[in-house]
Homo-oligomer: A and B are copies of this chain.
Amino acid sequence: MITRNRKLIAPVVFLFLLGCSQIGIAQKRKGNTVYFDTTIAADATPAVLAQFMKSDAKSIAEMKFEKGIYHFYPDKGFEIYAQLSNHNNGLAKTAFPIFNMKNLTIDGQEATFIFHGINIPFSVENSQNIKVMNLSIDWGMSFHSEGKIVAVDPVKKTFDMQIADEYPYEIRNGQLIFIKEYYEHNIGQSILFDPKTTAISYDTEAYTSLTTRTKVKTQHNVKNIKYKYPVDPKAPENSRVGMEDKLVVEQLQPGLLRVFNHGKKIPEVGKILTMKGEQGQNRFAPAFHVVASQNFEANNVNVHHACGMGIIVENSENLTLDNFNVTPSQGRMVSTTADATHFVGCRGKITIKNCTFNNQLDDAVNVHGTYQEVVDVLGENSIGIKVGHYQQQGFSIGVPDDTIGLVNLHQSFFEYDKLTLKSIEKINSRYQIVTFKEKIPSSLKKGDYIENLSAYPELLVQNCTISKNRARGLLLSTPKKIVVENNYFATEMEAILVPVESGYWYESGSALDLTIRNNTFQDCNIGGQNRGIIRFETDDESKNVAFKNILIENNKINQFDDLILEVNNTDGLRFKGNTISNSGTFKMIYPENPAFSIKTSKNIIFENNKYLGKANPILKTDGSVPNLKFK
């Protein structure tokens, strides 16, 4: 056993207090409630941290804040090595380090918390019954930047953008770098917003992302470097090899920039270009990180920004977001720079209701498990696994006694055997030794995947508004009961994606009991990708069944384009009582599409639907469902 216990040297896990800490700021404590007032507002970090550091911190039941605006600077903030699924792992400060605590409510009483730097507002780990309510979260300077397109030159294929003072920048060797307090980013991933609608701009994918990179012209002997083990070509340290910058930016006058060498369509005058830095290097501080915790709740919380997601939840059980809103502030087009909410390896029930998820630069809700790849068989009971995606580094697939499925996706989307988890030894961020209680079957092969069958949640998404954002509404990858009802969708890509995906994100979990009812879909897929607004999709070529028991009923779909529903690899789907109309809001991008595409599926039923759209034919199938008719 390796124990590494550097008592005075490792803040990352243990903070040893020999004696009671007197930070010098006395907050009022009455019984088990701590009251903060605005005298701490200039930098609330030390006062809040002091409460968590007290030897009796675990008995605090409530922290209440006087209404006001509180700033949280990172300089004296508690630092952790943050392992964040779907973000970058790294050092971060955290203002509310809620570790190993129970029955704690943070009540902002309508306060606003303004964060600065790489600062995770709420880190909830190994805790139960934590509730956060009545507050707004924002950052002083955003982790993204915006520019207004003010002129174009279609001949020279350049465009000019005006940059407001709140986005300081410099140009290094022709590269535009935005400078923030404690942060900087290049153009990286970009997308257009339409200030008239404050939503993503129609057909943006024809214009963005800006083509920032191209292959190097000169490389010598790099391809001969030998690696003993496979490397992940998508991890940023590898994907940058062989690439150089393509765009060149020049300043015409202070605050006015000209962009050269963009290879897609030139953005239109009047649109807002938002830029957030290089993929894989732009997610360092979600607003909420919840891991290995039970019964977390957020109520009446507004998240206006984050360096990454609004909330990322890992390996937790039972969670409620009620009136948890991700919306922009301060005149920005953008709220959070990544997903509004994201749940990996959770169990119990996730309830998301009465929420608004607008203007974030990625999906609204993503619920899934993970696949990990078997790379070694080590003895009778143990295997060595490799983490597939560089943003899952350090992720623990489960806890002892979980049921782990062994999967060969080429054969089937469902497990061919199951074992009981005994232990996980994490050797490094990418490699873990997983030991089972039973002997490993001889059928297990290197290259197979494991999946935690015990770590999938039920999901309710109810009465939410999901609009104006980049990417999708809901990504649903759990076999437990899912109900999506009474929501409003107006998303840049699909409103609802039901995927099984193993080649890139390693996200597991097929939908086996899904109800989508009484929702309104208003002009989704405006970004320009050729997809249905509801899609069932695997990234495999196989014809195996992935999805079952799908009910889509009584929804109103008012869509400018034709393709509504794509069904693949499904056994059992009812599309019933829905009304589809053509909104006419935008020019159709793919007028040749049908409304419904059904492939490699069976037991598909249409009944009692009203179609008022323009697709012809309405239904297109591949012969797996002969005689299927739209009704």
Name A's B-contacting residues (CB within 8 A): 1-19, 21-24, 42-43, 49, 52-55, 57, 71, 73-81, 83, 89, 91, 93, 97, 99-100, 116, 125-126, 141, 163, 165, 167-175, 179-182, 184, 216-222, 224-229, 237, 241-245, 250-251, 254-255, 291-292, 315, 376-382, 384, 394, 396, 399-400, 422-431, 433, 435
Closest B residue to A58 by CB, please name it: B1
Do A218 and B171 touch across chains, with their CB atoms under 8 A apart?
yes
CA distance A89 to B12 in the complex (A): 12
User: Which residues of B lie under 8 Å from residue A5 when comparing CB positions?
Assistant: 13-14, 99-100, 126
Do A125 and B4 touch across chains, with their CB atoms under 8 A apart?
yes
User: Which residues of B lie under 8 Å from residue A78 when comparing CB positions?
Assistant: 2, 427-428
Do A225 and B57 touch across chains, with their CB atoms under 8 A apart?
no
Do A97 and B2 touch across chains, with their CB atoms under 8 A apart?
yes
Do B13 and A241 touch across chains, with their CB atoms under 8 A apart?
no
Do A379 and B22 touch across chains, with their CB atoms under 8 A apart?
yes
Do B11 and A171 touch across chains, with their CB atoms under 8 A apart?
no
Given A4-B99, A6-B291, 16 other A-B residues pairs in contact with their CB atoms under 8 A: A1-B16, A2-B57, A3-B99, A6-B292, A11-B394, A22-B379, A23-B382, A42-B228, A76-B229, A76-B384, A79-B429, A81-B81, A169-B220, A170-B219, A172-B216, A179-B222
Do A423 and B57 touch across chains, with their CB atoms under 8 A apart?
no
Count chain B CB atoms within 10 A of each CB in A24, A83, A250, A428 and give the residue with the most.
A428
Do A171 and B217 touch across chains, with their CB atoms under 8 A apart?
yes
Instruction: For residue A390, give the distance in angstroms from its CB to the closest CB of chain B.
Output: 12
User: Which residues of B lie under 8 Å from residue A126 when comparing CB positions?
Assistant: 5-7
Instruction: For residue A184, give the distance in angstroms from its CB to the closest CB of chain B.
Output: 7
Instruction: For residue A80, give the distance in angstroms from its CB to the closest CB of chain B.
Output: 7
User: Which residues of B lie under 8 Å from residue A244 when comparing CB positions?
Assistant: 171-173
Do A13 and B16 touch across chains, with their CB atoms under 8 A apart?
no
For A17, give its contact among B11, B169, B220, B425 (CB under 8 Å).
B425
Instruction: For residue A89, give the distance in angstroms from its CB to the closest CB of chain B.
Output: 8
Do B173 and A245 touch across chains, with their CB atoms under 8 A apart?
yes
Do A75 and B431 touch across chains, with their CB atoms under 8 A apart?
yes
Do B220 and A168 touch across chains, with their CB atoms under 8 A apart?
yes
Count chain B CB atoms within 10 A of each CB in A116, A175, A394 and give the residue with the most.
A394
Do A422 and B22 touch across chains, with their CB atoms under 8 A apart?
no
CA distance A573 to B61 in the complex (A): 65
Do A6 and B228 touch across chains, with their CB atoms under 8 A apart?
no
CA distance A135 to B74 in the complex (A): 45
Do A11 and B57 touch across chains, with their CB atoms under 8 A apart?
no
What are 9 of the A-B contact pairs (CB < 8 Å)? A3-B15, A9-B292, A10-B83, A11-B428, A163-B220, A165-B224, A168-B220, A171-B244, A173-B244
